[in-house]
Structures are given as structure tokens and as C-alpha cells.
Structure 1
Amino acid sequence: MTVKVAINGFGRIGRNVLRAIVESGRTDISVVAINDLGPVETNAHLLRYDSVHGRFPATVTTGTDWIDVGRGHMQVTALKNPADLPWGDVDIVLECTGIFTSKEKCQAHLENGAKRVLISAPGEGA
């Protein structure tokens, strides 16, 4: 069974999570969506050329609303409000914005269909 993952926030942490999944070679984890307010091509460029980790280990291609690293298109959205995100087919949302750090703030991800949310920043009330 493949675990479907969405990344909310494609900054350094979000990009490095994707890099780790690709470099691991795991086929049981599929990143299906990315939500970030930056333009698709800017996010792809930052993924391709990391100033610390170097070039991304796979070819990065883009479309109007997707990025592909050789594992299938990842739908890209640019929505501020998690309540607007289409997570109906997502098993885990990786919350990497640093903004939504409590259960209450992440509730919208769950209400929109995500089965679980993993927060990358220190959680409030943890």
C-alpha cells in the first residue's frame, strides 16, 4: 500500500522532506500534492538548486500547476487557508509552514480529508 503525502509549505523543510523521500528510493511513499504561496517555477528552481545540499538528484519538470521529479505529477496549489485545501485523497499532510502548530490550527487539514497531520515545528501544547 502506498502512503499518499501532501506537503503544506515548500520552504527548506518541505523541500528537504521531498528530497529525503526521493533519495531513499522508497516506492511506498508518494508525494501527491504541494501547497506553497510561491510560484511553481520558483519552487522548482529552489528544489533543483539547494545551496546546502546541492543539485536535486532527479530531473525536475513543471507545468502550470504541477511539479514532477520522475515519480508522477505532484499537484501544486497556492492557498493560504488550510480549509480550502483538497486533501480528500491524502493519508498524511506534512505541515511545514511553521504557522499551523497546534491541533486546533491543523484541524482544517483533517476536516478536508487528511487522515493524519505531522507538524514539522514545535507544537503548541505538546
Structure 2
Amino acid sequence: MRRQVEFSFLDVELARSCNDDAMREHRYGAVVAAVLRRRLAEIDAAAHLADLERLPAARLRPCLDDPGLLLVSLGPLADLHLRPRADPPPRLPDGTLDYADVRVVIVTDVQLVPTASRTRPALLRARREAS
């Protein structure tokens, strides 16, 4: 029997805003809401986090500011924040997180990317469209 990644949410409000279609769209906008729904389904279908590494659009990566935090791309506008539930999390001999051994995560946040950190071409395109 194949095991799947289990995930829970940091709190009830976050769970509601991620799982309720209307609330998700209201809180994050239609584009991010659609990608968030897809990413949660991909996480649920994965056997372990290493499966997400194989999805180029997910761009699973460690957070540079918080080594225990993982970021999953929700497109250019947002990131899904995850933490392995195991304490301490499984590590490879070189000290990096062993994605293949992570099967339980906690969703801690959906972070909209601030305008200042978006790419320069996206900013220029937005300014042209606003003019």
C-alpha cells in the first residue's frame, strides 16, 4: 500500500481559508486560489515531499530566512509555507533535509509575494499596463 503525504494546518482559520473555495478565492484572489487548490491536491497525492521536487511549477525549496521552513510556489504571486512535522526533521548525511523521508507536514502560511520582490520585467509590465 502506497503511503501519501499527510498535511495539517497551523490553525483553523488557515485550514478554512485553504479548503473553502469561496473563502480561498476571496482571501487570495482567483489566480492564487486555483493554484493553491492544485498544490494541496498534489501534496495529498505525493508519496513524500521528494515527489514535489519533480514538479517544476511547485519549485519546492528551503526558505533562506528560516531553515526549518519549506516554500512551495503558487505562481509568481504567492508561496505556500510548510514545515516537516517530525522534530527533528529527517536529514541526509550532509545535513540537508531528506525530502524522500518527509511524509507529514504542517501548512503554516500562504504568503503573497510583496510587489518589491517581484521580478523587474513583471514590474515594468505592470507599470506599462497601468499607464
TM-score bracket for this pair, using the shorter chain length:
under 0.3
**What TM-score comes out, normalization by structure 1 length?**
0.26
Higher fraction of helix: 2
**TM-score normalized by the length of structure 2:** 0.25
Structure with greater proportional strand content: 1
> Highest CA radius of gyration, 1 or 2?
2
